[in-house]
Structure 1
Amino acid sequence: MSRPPTFRPPTRTRAYALATTRGDFAVLDTAPARQAHGTALLLPGYTGSKEDFIAMLEPLADAGFRTVAVDGRGQYESAGGADQEAYGQGELARDVIAQARALATPVHLVGHSLGGQIARAAVLLDPSPFASLTLMSSGPAQVTAEQQQKIKLLGDALAVMDMEQVWEAMRAMDPPGEADGDDGDMRRRWLLHNPAQLIATGRQLVTEPDRTDELAAIALPRHIVSGERDDTWPVPLLDEMTRRLGARRTVIAGAEHSPNTDRPAETAAALAAFWSGL
């Protein structure tokens, strides 16, 4: 799971519940000091949260963009029910459209990993609330076979164990030294995730069809961002998806599957350059 450098937002960031026609969603909202050049909506990945973008909020605001990172339905501080059908990709995509409309301006949509698949589904459902789409470490279809196995193991565990028990089991499997230090924020985030959301979205990750051609037919600026290594969608696969989309491509040196936490300053600069160029 992604590990943010901190769970404490910058002093210029407001944490609140964004009211939409589909319910309230926890957000971190950072505005530039001067008039904004645009607004960005950032969607986290599987087991992640809005905090995965914390280190990018001020750099993006300094570049002139209001930046809103959101917990999706059932993620961390956004409520969700026990019905797995509520976390179907179409339902989550409609949530994103409602979030964008609540911000009252076309938004630059960014989705990391699972968030990229949900972002793509939202754009395919209704592109009108969006000024651009950035898929960050999010590939054309299902994840690699190795990741599918890990997701299946997690789903099986969630079916018979509570969140606390699964957390302890995951910590026990960490490599020596990786779980050292204060894991309080990570543990709290995990415990507040809705298990129905994890099971349902995990199923999406292992069954997602290739919708690249559908996305290529949408008249919307597109940007593919990744690290130089990725064990969830291989980088050559992301390169090929970029070609099929006719999209802009950015590879963040020194980053892996989460450039937003591995190299946040460089990733923020790449996003701001893309948006400014539009």
Structure 2
Amino acid sequence: MTRPTTSSTPFPPPPGARAYALRTARGDFAVVDSPAAAGVEVRGVALLLPGFTGSKEDFHRLHGPLAARGYRTVTVDGRGQNESDGPADDESPYAREELAQDVLAQAAALGTPVHLVGHSLGGQIARAAVLLDHAPFLSFTLMSSGPAEISESQKLRVKLLHDALAVMTMPEVWEAIVAMGPPEEVGGPARGFGDPEQLRLRWLNHKPAQLLATGRQLCAEPDRVAELAAVPLPFHVLSGARDDTWPVPLLDEMAVRLRADRTVVPEAEHSPNLDRPLPTARGLADFWDRRRRRD
């Protein structure tokens, strides 16, 4: 399913990590795989899923600090995201359960129970996977990912994107996004790890059908927190101190409902992995370490 990931990729992995196509029972997925640091006790493996319009590169700044804590990290482009292939026009392979089954296949291909982390849309896809089968997972962290549908302001942004995709090509939509202002103000596909050309290439790699299908899901996601709370896994809710997609008080309430550990990263917003990678990595590793001690 995946276009081969080679040394010529415009998205080189961070030092010590390897980019390749992870072979699974549901096709190949582009991943960046970073081992635990040399000389450090290996403490576990984590599978990290990116958000809407995002990619595995959004976690690049987490690999090093998590490796230093003894964790191997595998970040993945989902079906139709960036370097993982998928149909451009058929939305059916991007149904929520299909994407959840992809996550289960990715975990199975790693061959060991993993700590699951999902950012934003990735958190809701990960939640669907956990609700299908929690056995492959040691824990589940929802990173800036809320209990149900996104905020009204973000629904409007998704609608604008969908309207643009209906009448414009992907390169034309990118030009419109860039014309809206600097990345820190525009957000979305204009913001992420990499220079402007890498972000443009990432956008062009995304499949329109994936963006349309998952955008609709974000705008209509039901509250499944009660179902998730019944799953026998340790939960963790991590976010920045400010979030326009799911307000922080809503994330606080979700953590209470899940009886989850809670980490708020100061001076970070919807993408703490990009805004404040060191305290974000510390929050993740501290949670995983606490689980090891309790187990």
Per the TM superposition, whether the score is higher than 0.5 is yes
Give 1:258's aligned amino acid.
Answer: S
SS in 1 for 2:82: coil
SS in 2 for 1:189: helix
Q: CA deviation at 1:9?
A: 2.3
Give 1:77's aligned amino acid.
Answer: E
Structure 2 matches for 1:1-278, cutoff 5 A? Answer: 7-32=11-36, 33=38, 34-81=40-87, 82-175=89-182, 182-278=195-291
> For structure 1, which runs of at least 5 residues remain unmatched after alignment?
1-5
Q: CA deviation at 1:161?
A: 1.0
Name the CA distance, whole Å, in 2 between partners of 1:213 and 1:177.
35
- What whole-Å deviation, never above 9, does each CA across 1:180-216 have from its counterpart, x for those lacking one? x951000000000001000000000000000000000
SS in 1 for 2:173: helix
Name the CA distance, whole Å, in 1 between partners of 2:28 and 2:183.
39
Name the CA distance, whole Å, in 1 between partners of 2:81 and 2:184.
27
Q: CA deviation at 1:71?
A: 0.2
Give 2:181's aligned amino acid.
Answer: D
Name the CA distance, whole Å, in 1 between partners of 2:97 and 2:81.
16
Q: CA deviation at 1:8?
A: 3.8
- More displaced, 33-42 or 78-87? 33-42
Name the CA distance, whole Å, in 1 between partners of 2:268 and 2:235.
21
Give 1:144's aligned amino acid.
Answer: S
> For structure 2, which runs of at least 5 residues remain unmatched after alignment?
1-9
Q: CA deviation at 1:225?
A: 0.2
Aligned identity (percent) is: 65
- More displaced, 204-213 or 182-191? 182-191
Give 1:26's aligned amino acid.
Answer: A
Contact 2:12–2:19 (CA<8 Å) still a contact in 1?
A: no
Contact 1:228–1:256 (CA<8 Å) still a contact in 2?
A: yes
Give 2:67's aligned amino acid.
Answer: A
How well do the aligned residues superpose, as a CA RMSD in angstroms?
A: 1.6
Contact 1:7–1:54 (CA<8 Å) still a contact in 2?
A: no
**Count of residues in correspondence between the two structures:** 272
User: TM-score, normalised to structure 2's length?
Assistant: 0.90
SS in 1 for 2:181: coil
